[in-house]
């Protein structure tokens, strides 16, 4: 295939714009923050599940504490009634029974108070665990919000860059011969499309051309469309090619 050297050089602009379009498209579809945001979402779900478990455990402790406090109140009320009856009775047998019951109630209250103290300590630990878990969730949410905002900014910038490069590409491509552009598009489907041959090196694949390949390029007519024997992209020859 043959094409004017000027058109061939324009392919370098097209290839550069195609690279910018691909990069911008990748950035807008998958901003660098996306993976971390997804990880934070999964982490937040795990933290929320653990918080639910901790809240349930704390509610159970609160229920236990309320039950013990109710039992203590019942014991106190019973002791008050027995003490009042003891102070007013003249029946020795009844007095002995009341004293025995008051002793049992005192021991019962001590047991309840010990249990109450233990539950209160466990409840304090549960409150601290819940607070710590809520802090973790808040920190995770804050990081997620910041990253999401940053990702939106990146997507907006990438979208603008994609649209600008697409417009520029259309303008440059419109000045390239149709048959050459069609050939370039076919080549670009499996390589960088077009690349400068600089000092015997293809800038598309960074491979140095072998002596025989370089000689073939050197002997080719200026309007001959040459391709890299390694990557297949169109080799654009300039004064930098070292031919």
For residue range 63-118, list pLDDT tens digits in order: 999 999 999 999 999 999 988 888 888 788 888 888 899 899 999 999 999 999 99
Check: CB of residue 234 under 8 Å from CB of residue 191.
no
pLDDT digit string (tens) for 42-55? 999 999 999 999 99
Helices (H), the chain: 5-29, 34-88, 92-173, 178-188, 211-219
pLDDT at residue 93, rounded to an integer: 85
> Domains of the chain: which residue ranges?
5-26+174-237, 29-159
Q: What is the enclosing helix (H) or strand (E) of 208?
A: strand 207-208
In this predicted structure, the answer to whether residue 235 has a pLDDT above a threshold of 90 is yes
The string of pLDDT tens digits covering residues 133-181 is: 999 999 999 999 999 999 999 999 999 999 999 999 999 999 999 999 9
Mean pLDDT of all residues belonging to the chain: 94
Nearest to 174 by CA among 2, 1, 17, 19: 17
Specify the fold of 29-159.
Helix Hairpins (1.10.287)
**Stretch among 82-86, 121-125, 219-223 having the lowest mean pLDDT:** 82-86
Contact 34, 151 (CB under 8 A): yes
pLDDT-above-90 percentage for the chain: 87
- Bigger pLDDT: 40 vs 86: 40
pLDDT for residue 128: 97
The answer to which of 22-36, 89-103, 227-241 has the lowest mean pLDDT is 89-103
């Amino acid at each position: 295939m043959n094409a004017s050297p000027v058109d061939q050089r324009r392919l370098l602009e097209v290839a550069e714009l195609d690279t910018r379009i691909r990069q911008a498209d990748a950035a807008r579809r998958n901003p660098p923050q996306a993976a971390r945001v997804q990880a934070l979402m999964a982490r937040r779900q795990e933290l929320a599940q653990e918080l639910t478990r901790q809240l349930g455990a704390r509610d159970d402790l609160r229920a236990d504490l309320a039950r013990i406090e109710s039992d203590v109140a019942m014991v106190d009320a019973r002791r008050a009634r027995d003490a009042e009856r003891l102070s007013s009775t003249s029946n020795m047998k009844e007095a002995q029974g009341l004293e025995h019951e008051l002793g049992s109630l005192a021991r019962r209250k001590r047991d309840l108070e010990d249990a109450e103290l233990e539950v209160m300590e466990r409840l304090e630990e549960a409150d601290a665990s819940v607070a710590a878990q809520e802090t973790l969730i808040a920190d995770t949410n804050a990081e997620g919000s910041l990253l999401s905002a940053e990702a939106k900014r990146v997507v907006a910038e990438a979208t603008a860059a994609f649209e600008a490069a697409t417009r520029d590409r259309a303008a440059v491509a419109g000045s390239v011969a149709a048959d050459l552009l069609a050939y370039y598009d076919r080549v670009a489907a499996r390589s960088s499309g077009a690349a400068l041959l600089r000092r015997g090196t293809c800038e598309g694949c960074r491979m140095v051309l072998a002596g025989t390949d370089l000689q073939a390029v050197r002997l080719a007519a200026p309007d001959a469309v040459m391709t890299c024997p390694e990557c297949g992209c169109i080799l654009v020859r300039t004064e930098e090619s070292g031919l």
